[in-house]
Structure 1
Amino acid sequence: MKIKDGIINPSRVVFSDHHDERPAASDVSLLVIHNISLPPGQFGGGYIEQFFTGQLNPKAHPFFEEIHQMRVSSHLMISREGEVIQFVPLHRRAWHAGLSSFQGVERCNDYSIGIELEGTDTVPYTEAQYRALQQVTLAIQANYPRITLGRIVGHNDIAPFRKTDPGPAFNWQKYRTMLCE
Structure 2
Amino acid sequence: MPSSPAEPTAIWLDGWYAPAQRIDSPNFGARPEGACIDLVVIHSISLPPGQYGGPEVQALFTNQLDWDAHPYFEQIRGLQVSAHFFIRRDGALIQFVSTKDRAWHAGQSQYRGRSQCNDDSIGIELEGLEGDVFTQAQYVQLARLCQDLHDHHPIAHLAGHEHVAPGRKQDPGPGFAWDRFKSLLNFPNSYFP
Instruction: Give the TM-score taking structure 2 as reference length.
Output: 0.89
Is contact 2:29-2:102 (8 Å) kept?
Answer: yes
Q: Give the Cα separation in 2 of the matches to 1:99 and 1:129.
A: 26
**Corresponding residue number in structure 2 for 1:92:** 101
Is contact 1:51-1:68 (8 Å) kept?
Answer: no
Q: Give the Cα separation in 2 of the matches to 1:171 and 1:113.
A: 20
> Is 1:77 the counterpart of 2:83 in the alignment?
no
Is contact 1:20-1:94 (8 Å) kept?
Answer: yes
Is contact 2:85-2:96 (8 Å) kept?
Answer: yes
**Any residues of structure 2 matched to 1:94-133 within 5 Å, and which?**
94-133=103-142
> Is 1:136 the counterpart of 2:142 in the alignment?
no
> Is 1:47 the counterpart of 2:56 in the alignment?
yes
**Corresponding residue number in structure 1 for 2:190:** none
- Amino acid in the other structure paired with 1:93: R
Question: How far is 1:26 from its partner?
Answer: 4.6
* RMSD (CA atoms): 1.3
Cα shift readout 1:9-36 (whole Å, capped 9, x = no counterpart)? 1111110000010003651111000000
**Corresponding residue number in structure 2 for 1:8:** 17
Cα shift readout 1:31-56 (whole Å, capped 9, x = no counterpart)? 00000000011111100000011101
> Is 1:156 the counterpart of 2:165 in the alignment?
no
**Corresponding residue number in structure 1 for 2:183:** 177
Structure 2 alignment gaps of length 5 or more: 1-9, 188-193
Cα shift readout 1:151-180 (whole Å, capped 9, x = no counterpart)? 100000000010011101101011111012
The alignment-based identity, stated in percent, is: 44
Q: Give the Cα separation in 2 of the matches to 1:66 and 1:15.
A: 24
- Amino acid in the other structure paired with 1:15: D
Q: Give the Cα separation in 2 of the matches to 1:59 and 1:44.
A: 19
- Amino acid in the other structure paired with 1:12: Q
Structure 1 alignment gaps of length 5 or more: none
Which aligned runs of 4 or more in structure 1 are off by greater than 6 angstroms? none
Q: Give the Cα separation in 2 of the matches to 1:131 and 1:68.
A: 33
Q: Give the Cα separation in 2 of the matches to 1:110 and 1:77.
A: 19
Relative distance call for 1:25 and 1:74 in structure 2 (3 A) is farther
